[in-house]
Structure formats: C-alpha cells, structure tokens
Amino acid sequence: MSGGIIFVLTCCSQQESISDTRKVEITQEIKEIIDGYANAVKRHDTDWLLNFWSNEKNFVIAGDGELIADYESGIAKPTRDFISNLREVFHFEFSKGHAFVINENAVSYTTSFDWGIVLLSGDTIKSKGAWLYLFTKSEKNWKVVQSAGTHTYYK
C-alpha cells in the first residue's frame, strides 16, 4: 500500500496551476466516464469495463477488506465472471460525485453508488456504498490506476 500512498502524495505535490474553467472541463470528462461505467454494466459490455481500468504496474484496488495489486485477478477475471453471470441490471446510479483535479493528467474522483442486479441463477443483489477512483491520463485516455471502496448489500 505504501506505493499507492507515495503515488498520490507525489501527484498532489506536483499540483499544477489549472484554470477553474479547465478544472470544470476535466471534471466533466471524468463524470462522463463514470456514467459510462454504469451504462456499460447495463449493456453487459465487458470490453468497455475492462478498458476503464489501467493494466499497468501501479494498478491497485482496495475493496471490501481486500487489497489486490494485480489487474488480472483484481479486475479482469472478476469482471468477466460478473458479466457472464448477469441477467439484468434494474438500476445502477452514481451520485454525489466529487472531483479533485490534481493536474492535467491526474484526477481523484469520489462518488456514491447504488445498484441492483439479477443473476442468471435468479438471485437478486442490491448494493450501495462509496468508491474512490484515481484516474491518470495516458495517450489521451483516462484510466483508473488505483481505486478503493466498499459495498453494503441490502434487501
């Protein structure tokens, strides 16, 4: 985890002077990507979901008490398994999003979520919670390089 802390602190210490207008533009770019994530789940679009995340050495996800620093086991396999077992998404919304524009190529975005799905087995699962995404821009594309959050399941 110390590598993630160093990365965030390095980004924050290198905060550039960015106009308020540009911060709003960057925030809108990130919000559109976050909304795209929910839409991709609704479409069962595995490729879009896999492309949302960065597959680079600094990737790490911390969720529900686990820390995984491997794209394949932390994102690729669980995403493929999830989509292959998904029958229907009856709701998926993000809300209360907050962006912190670190520089032109790094943004922290924290949001609440609420979703409900039906699996092929017929089981219904509902979850809400909060999630933090650290986006970096590489080759003109925003990707999530680090992420953390938790799910609260409800009936």
* CATH code assigned at 59: 3.10.450.50
**H or E element: which one contains 75?**
none
Average pLDDT over residues 55-66: 94
HSE-CB at 133 with a 13 A cutoff on CA atoms is 24
Range(s) of the domain holding residue 71? 2-8+19-154
pTM of the model: 0.87
pLDDT, residue 58, reads 87
Number of domains the chain contains: 1
User: Is 92 within a domain?
Assistant: yes
pLDDT tens, position by position, 98-149: 999 999 999 999 999 999 999 999 999 999 999 999 999 988 999 999 999 9
Percent of the chain with pLDDT over 90: 86
User: Is 146 within a domain?
Assistant: yes
CA atoms of 95 and 88, how far apart (whole Å) = 21
User: Is 13 within a domain?
Assistant: no
Average pLDDT over residues 11-39: 88
User: Is 118 within a domain?
Assistant: yes
